[in-house]
Structure formats: C-alpha cells, structure tokens
Chains A and B, each alone.
Chain A
C-alpha cells in the first residue's frame, strides 16, 4: 500500500536519484523542484485532518519495524523543513550546476523529514545518519578539511546516540518511542535504571543532539560546513537540518522527561536536566553572537549567527515550561524562514558578485533591489524588530524566561539580541549601501528562481509577523492547552501582551509620515558617499577601520583574552594527536619483523597460560 507518508518521505530521495542518474540540464532541475515540492503539497493537503487523525505508517526492514507518524508535532517540523526545502530547490536551480548536488541535497531532505516523522529509534537513527551523510557529501566536494571536521563531530554525535539507543534497548527491550516512553515512565517510580546509567544516557543524547544543533562547545563544525557548500543548500542546512538537533532535545523531554526528573530532581525550583539544557543554550547564544560580530566573511557571519539562533531554541526548551516550548517551537519556524532567507540572499550575492568578504562589497541595493528588499526583511526579522516573525518568537522566549524566573538566561537573550543587531547592521550597510567598488558596477539582479525562493521565505516572515496567532494557535494544539492566548494578531501570556497588528499599523503610519517628510520635506541634495565612519579613531594604515574592514576590531581587542581559547583549535589538536598516535601505533606494532610477530603469539599463549595456571 502506498501511504502518503511514504510519498512525503521518499519523493525527494527518488527525485534526487533520478535527477542524478539522468543528469540532463534543465530536466534535473525540474525533477528536483518537483521532488522538493511534493512533501509540502502533501503536508498542506493533509493539514485539515492531521489534528484529529494522525497518519501512521510502518514498514518492517530486516526485522526492525520502522514506524512513522504524522501527528501535530511532526507535521509542524516537517512543514517547516519542507518549506525551506522547496525554497532550497528553487535556489539550487540557479546556483548549482551539478547533479551531484541535487542527489545529496534531496537525500538530506528525505533524511530530515524522516527524522521528524520517525516514531522509533531505528528509523530515527537511520535517517539521522542519512541526513548527516548527505549534508557531509555536499561539503566534501568543496572542502575536505571542513567536511571531515563536520562529519567526525556529527558521527561522534550519532554514535553517542547509538550507544544511548542501545543502552535503552538493553534496559527496556523496545525501540519504538511509545514503548520506551511508557517503560521509562514506569521505571521512574521503580528505579531499575540507576541514576548513573540515566546520567550516561542523558549525556550521550545531549552530545548527539548538541552536535547537530551546534551547541557550544560542539559548534565548531558549523562555520566551516555552512560556508563551504552551495549557499542555497545552506539555507536548508542551517534552516532545517540544524532543527533536527532541536527536535532531538524535544524528544528527550517526551521520552525521558519524567525519568530524568525522577533521577535528578530539581535545582532552584527548576528541573535539573532542563537547567543544563537552558544554560547550554544561553552560552551558545552569547558565544556564537560574539563570534558572529567579529567575522569578516558574510558566510561565516551567518554561520555563527545560525549557531546562536539555534541556541535560543535550546534555551527556550530548557526553560521547561509550556510557554518556553511554545517560544522554542515558534522560533524553530521563524529561524528557519529568516535564516533560510538570509542564506538565499547570500547565495544571490555570491552568485552575482563572486565575492564573500565585506571588504569587497558595497552599494548593491541599487543593483539588486529585490534581493535587497528580501535582505531587509530578513535583517528585521533576525534583529527582532516588529512586525516580523522573529520578534514574535523572541518575545515569547523572553516572556517564558521571565516567568520561569531565570533572569540570567533572560539577560543572555538580551545580550544576544543586541549583538545580533550589531552584526546585521553591518551586513545591511556594508553590503547594500555606501561606496560601490568599481568591479561591482555591472552586477545584475538575481535570476528568477532564486527570487521565487526568496519570496517563498519572505512572505511567511511577514505573514507570521503580522499574525503570530496563526502559529501560536497551532502550537497550542501541539502542546495540548491554551498556552499562548489571544487571537490571530494578539499574543497574550501570563506576563504580557503583544499586539502585532497594532504595531504594524503604527509602523505603517510612521513610515507613511516619514515618506511624506522625505518627499515633501527638506530639500535633498546629492553628496558623494564615502566612508565616514571611523569609530572615533584617527585613520592610520594599521588601524584603518571602516564598516567594511575590521569594523568591530576594538571589540576583538577587548575580548582578546577569551579569543585565545578556541574550541576549534582544541579539537584540531586532539585530531592531530590521534593521527600521530595512529602512526606510532602502527609503526610500533606492525614493525615488519616476523620475530616480533611471533612474540605476540607467544604473549597471547602466555596470557592464556597464566589465566589457566592462576
């Protein structure tokens, strides 16, 4: 029987394989886009019925029963991923010229969908690996070192997860979520699984999902991997793939929440394990945002920004309250759409100019007006300026942090927002305004498919910004209660209210007045645009700060002490040590002398003998 879920799951993969095998220009793009559109189409079609009737699907593969279910929560995640995936496909139609890319991009699409839809650990792990592998192959093509860094960390995460799964399997005898959940729920009272084992399983899962979500200190793969691939694909990579990590944390709550609570208890009236997650999120937000501010490369900047934004989601989930979940879930959506949009804008810029550094950019707003408009929406949304989707979700998270009585964490949110503002402002000015380098004079607007892709993500930014209730009411259904009140335009929480429509109207009126002033007010005169902004320092050759070059160098100097320590370098060193260890191991053990080899045999015999004698 062909089930809708199977179509949703495998349409991208099959389309990818077909596109790869045919490899005819034009046709492969068409097939790819169709394959990416099918899941979204089906999800939209199934939307009306999904709340009452979850759709189940299960297949037995080599003795394992893989179960998939489309329920309210998985629909939400799958829909977000499909939306970004479709945008990615449109973007790739322009930016990618290889069937190789199509194969692996669509393969990872299937992987992400599968992770969200799986209801048992075998399918979850299988598709998780598939997703990791496919995204890795996207990077491998362009940069071996970065891709291996990504893959090694991911695989360590995946294997940590596998061990955790295996331990759970050994303890509970089940691999499907429902049974595991039930057994662990019962076990919380009986305590057959010791606290130590629970801690190990929790730690392993934390590692696994932390890697994928890019939580500090496991984030080091993100900058390299996000920047060293096709930028349209990065929209999906950062927008949807990293959400798999966030989803994993949610899963942790669902499956093990009660058991973890029973094992670790509370800390300051707060679930201990959730506290850990919240702080991981908060640290990720702060560290990644600082690092993002200091980047000179657009791709690196957004890569760190992505890490930071996923940190928000973790933070929200770590609050442990339903409001926190609501905020986190909303942020999943809004981050996917604004960060996806950002990456597509970046893709357009790189495609049209071939440059990635801030110092080579400037004044592109006139040349690429539509792209600029899209970029502006993304910037507003990311910086958390109403009436964009980004504001609504951040506001919810903030409210949740306050009502959970975690002021330090709330402070991290604030700090993160401020820093986000700092880096997007630089992006906004350095790329779009100011003096245009002479070699960018004949830059053209991005091609149509890319524009479609951007529009696809920009519209939800606006719609969900103006009417956040659309999302929160669905989230209420996921969480099974009236968590966030209000109507389509108004959000009501225990501590505050946000009326998006009002804000929008105010904003529109304000903009109208400003426009009137601009048109009828003061006389404008054209002056040449130069870099006037020098941070109050005298301009010298060594200390030449402009918005395009070393803009935040003073900040970097202030943070010098902290920047000395880098997780990235630490991991590199560990890897180098492992390789040296491997070398000396094989040189010493396989030394080529058959007499040494005979000694190994004798030693084994000796061990056998001693074990027999003693």
Chain B
C-alpha cells in the first residue's frame, strides 16, 4: 500500500468530525458509538502505519499536494511518530469507550467533535515536518483542549479554561514570534531544511528565536513555572479528557520541544538553552511532587504527579545525549500507559461515586476491588517499583542524567520521588485498609480496559526488551538529526 495513505491519519478524524453534525439527529447513544467506531478505525490505520514503519525501518514521508518538502508541507512519520500516533489512537479509543459511561453533560455531538479534533491535533503535532504547520496543529490541540476543559460548564471548569487560554495564548504568541525570526533569517519553514541551515544562522537571531520557540512549547509541555494552568485544567476537565491530556496532549508538546531543540543543535546558544531546560525540568519535578503531597482531591494529586513525570521526561530530553533521549521516549510510553490507567480508574471512581475527593476512596478496595487494584498497580508503577514498567525508564533516565554529569538534578529528582512514593502509598492505604463499604458494580467495558492497561504495565515491567528496542529506535529518530535531514526528500531550493 502506498505510504501516502498515512495521510488518512489526519483525514479520517477530520472528515468524521465534520460528519458529526449530520448524524446528531440519531441521538446521543449513536454519537457515542460513532466516536468509538472512528477511534477504532484510527487505531487500525495507526497500527498499519506503525507496522509499516517498523518493518521497513524507513519513515513514511507524506507530501501534501505532491509538493516536495521545502515547497509543500510534509508529514514525517518516522519511528517516533509512528509509535506515538499509535499511542494517541489507542488511548483515544479507550477514552472514547470510557466516554460512553462518563459523559452525561450535553451537547454530546459537540463533545464528540472536539474529542476527535484533540486527537487530530496531537497526531498532527507529532507527525508534521513543518514548523508553522506544527503551530497550526498545536493551536488545534490547544483550542479544542480549551473547549473541552470548560465542557462541564461549571464555574471551576470555566475558571480552569480561562487560565489555560490566557497562558496558552501568551505561549503561542511568543512561539509565533520565534517562527517569524527563524523564517526571517532562513527563509524556510521546513524543519529538515531549518536543521540543515541552522549552523549558518545569525547568532543573536538564532538565540532569540530558539528561546522563544522553547518558551512557547514549554507552556504546552508544562515545564515549571509555565505549568500553572495544568493542574486546574486536569482537575476540571471531563475524566476521559484528563487522561488524554496526560497521555498524549502534553507529550505532543514535549515531543515538539525535543524535536526542535535537536534540529537546532548547530545553533551556538544550544547548550545554554539545554541548561536552562534542565533547571526548569528539575524544578518541575520537585515542585509538582511537593504540591501533590497533601492534596485532598485525588484527581488533582495525580495531575501533579503527571506534571512531575513530564518534568522527568523533559529532563531526559534536555540532557542532549542519545541515552537521555532514548530514556525519555521510553518514559513517555510508560507514562502514557500508567497515567491513562490512573486517570481512567480515578475518573471511573469519580463517575461512580460522585467525586474524586480523598474521602471517596476510603474502602474502595471493598467497594470497587478491580478499580482499586488498577489504581494500585498504576500507583506502584508510577513510584518506580521494579517489575513495573516505569522502573526501567526511570532508571534509564537517572543513569543518563548522572552519565551527563548532572548529579544534582538526579538528587533533586530522587528526593521528589520519595515524596511521590509517600502520597501514592497513602492513597493505597486509604483504598485498601481504611473504611468499609458495599460492593458496587464496576461495568464490564471499563473493567476490561483497566485490566488491559494494568496488564500492559506489568508485561512491560517484566519483559521490557521489546518496548525498549522500540523506544531506542524512536529516540534515535529524534536524536539523529542527520538521518532526519537525509530522510526528507528535500528539493534543491536555495540550499
């Protein structure tokens, strides 16, 4: 099959989102099942792309309108993008199934559209090979995220959304200034060509441009202190959406950050940007873990934990070494699984019991044993206990950090990890050993999803080889810029 059909990854969610208004007359149920169907189809396409990329070992370059790269916009679906597009699709599928149960606020048809467009935006951000197109997809993701954050139409939801909008707006404006500078200096927007020409850029322009782009993306990627919107948005968004935020929306921003960072390697101020990012990422981990410590709302607590883990990934990416990037990608995969599991389970509890406050979790082991078990698995994994997947990636990241000579960063991260262990284990204790309650029904579909994700956590924890080899290839895709430039069939325009 022609590699160009990978553009269906973009086309399918779009056309399906546009189709929703035409079928909304069929009723709420129909829209929800339609959503499940489309995400399943998307998963199928993503799986095909994944298989294609990993068997041939060659990236798929989708050229829109048959224009070769610097002239037209291309999608670069390399090892990383193929992997992450699959994760995006799978998580979306799971959350679409969860939405059937979790979403009761009207209007469902609008929810379905926004849901599909968030998925589209993240897919596009990961796949695109053009820096302005990246901005467009980032805005698609962000604006649908704004809308979905406020979807519940409560005061809190609106509040979280306005915070997100204002901070995201500032971030994207400055990102655009960065693009303007880089375009003004190089005359191209294609990422491969930027990478090719970056060395010859005017040093000041390169420094300001890179700094602004990093700043803009760091807002999306939730690095401290630009992450203040994140816990609110996570807490107020509908439960399936929170899982999606944590599992791939943020990661798309983080990936874009890493990608652009490594493309601009030749820029002279590159190392100072890395240093700054390391400081920010380390602080992210530290502050977020401490903020989660005495949290009363479990969803918010896990949101903070998610932010901290994102900081850890950011740290890995900012190290500027191959091992760091590999570890970061591995952690991204693991974190996506674990946080999807945790947010799914916590959302499930909140839907069933009417809230995510700590008191609701007392005696959960007796009331909803399977869900409690899933949360336990997720929590233990997040802490980084051996035989669970996060252990491996955390270990990798720390070894890479120490290997790059940032012992202080590793020490700070580990102190924060201790704090993380404390609040997660308090949660586990609350669930299993405090309080009593009647057993209530847990629902087949959600139970199956929880078991699937928990099994994935343990399987990767016990047998990490396959996941690690994939992560290595994906990490190489980000780190090895020379290959990236070589793989994009650049036309000889100007270069």
Note all chain A residues with C-beta closer than 8 A to B463.
61
B386 touches A582 (CB 8 A): no
A462 is an interface residue with CB less than 8 A from chain B:
no
User: Which residues of B sit under 8 angstroms from A516, Cβ to Cβ?
Assistant: none
Q: How large is the interface on B (under 10, 10 to 19, 20 to 34, 35 or more residues)?
A: 35 or more
A155 pairs with B163, CB closer than 8 A:
no
Instruction: Please tell me if the beta carbons of A611 and B272 are within 8 angstroms of each other in the complex.
Output: yes
A144 neighbours in B (Cβ, 8 Å) = 425-426, 429, 433
Nearest-Cβ distance from residue A588 to partner chain B, whole angstroms: 10
Q: Evaluate contact between B163 and A597: CB separation under 8 angstroms.
A: yes
Of B395, B417, B425, B467, the residue contacting A140 (CB under 8 A) is B425
Q: Which of A122-130, A386-394, A399-407 has 4 or more CB atoms under 8 Å from chain B?
A: A122-130
Q: Which partner residue on chain B sits nearest A127 by CB separation?
A: B386
Known: A166-B401, A597-B228, A605-B174. A590 touches B414 (CB 8 A): no
Interface assignment of A586: CB less than 8 Å from any CB of chain B? yes
Within 8 Å of chain B (Cβ to Cβ): is A579? yes
A558 CB-CB contact with B under 8 Å: no
With A125-B395, A594-B162 already in contact, the answer to whether A600 and B228 are too (CB < 8 A) is yes
* B290: interface (CB < 8 Å): yes
A window 128-176: CB within 8 A of B: 129-130, 133, 136, 140-141, 144, 147-148, 151-152, 155-156, 159, 162-163, 165-167, 169-170
Segment 577-614 of A: residues with Cβ below 8 Å from B = 578-579, 581-583, 585-586, 589-590, 592, 594, 596-598, 600-601, 603-605, 607-608, 611-612
Judged by a CB distance under 8 angstroms, whether A62 is at the interface is yes
Q: Is B440 an interface residue (CB 8 A)?
A: no
> Which residue of chain A has the shortest Cβ distance to B420 in the bound complex?
A155
| A148, B428: Cα distance in complex, Å | 12
Residues 465-493 of A at the B interface (beta carbon under 8 Å): none
Q: Does B386 contact A130, Cβ atoms closer than 8 Å?
A: yes
CA distance A126 to B386 in the complex (A): 6
Closest to B326 in A: A63
Which residues on B sit within 8 Å (CB–CB) of A579?
A: 293-294
Give bound CA distance, A612 to B226, whole Å: 19
B225 touches which of A61, A162, A589 (Cβ 8 Å): A589
CB-based nearest A residue for B463: A61
Does residue A269 face the partner (Cβ distance < 8 Å to B)? no
**Does B298 sit at the interface, judged by CB under 8 A?**
no
Is B37 on the interface with A (CB-CB < 8 A)?
Answer: no
Pick from B207, B208, B386, B432 the residue with the most CB of A within 10 Å.
Answer: B386
- Judged by a CB distance under 8 angstroms, whether B4 is at the interface is no
CA–CA, A278 to B23, complex, Å? 79
Task: List A331-351 residues whose CB lies under 8 Å from chain B.
Answer: none
Chain A nearest CB, measured from B436 CB (Å): 16
Q: Across the interface, do B422 and A152 meet the contact criterion of CB distance under 8 Å?
A: yes
B271 to chain A, nearest CB (A): 12
Whether a CB of chain B sits under 8 angstroms from the CB of A532 is no
Which residues of B pack against A, CB within 8 Å? 162-163, 166-167, 170-171, 174, 204, 207-208, 211-212, 215, 218-219, 225-226, 228-229, 231-232, 272, 276, 280, 287, 290-291, 293-294, 380, 384-387, 391-392, 395, 398-399, 401-403, 405, 407, 410-411, 414-415, 417-419, 421-422, 425-426, 428-429, 432-433, 463-465, 467-468, 472
Nearest 8 interchain pairs by C-beta: A166-B402, A62-B464, A586-B291, A62-B468, A597-B228, A159-B414, A582-B290, A600-B225
What are some 14 contacts across the A-B interface (CB < 8 A)?
A61-B465, A63-B465, A144-B425, A144-B429, A152-B421, A169-B403, A579-B293, A582-B294, A583-B294, A590-B231, A608-B212, A608-B215, A612-B204, A612-B208
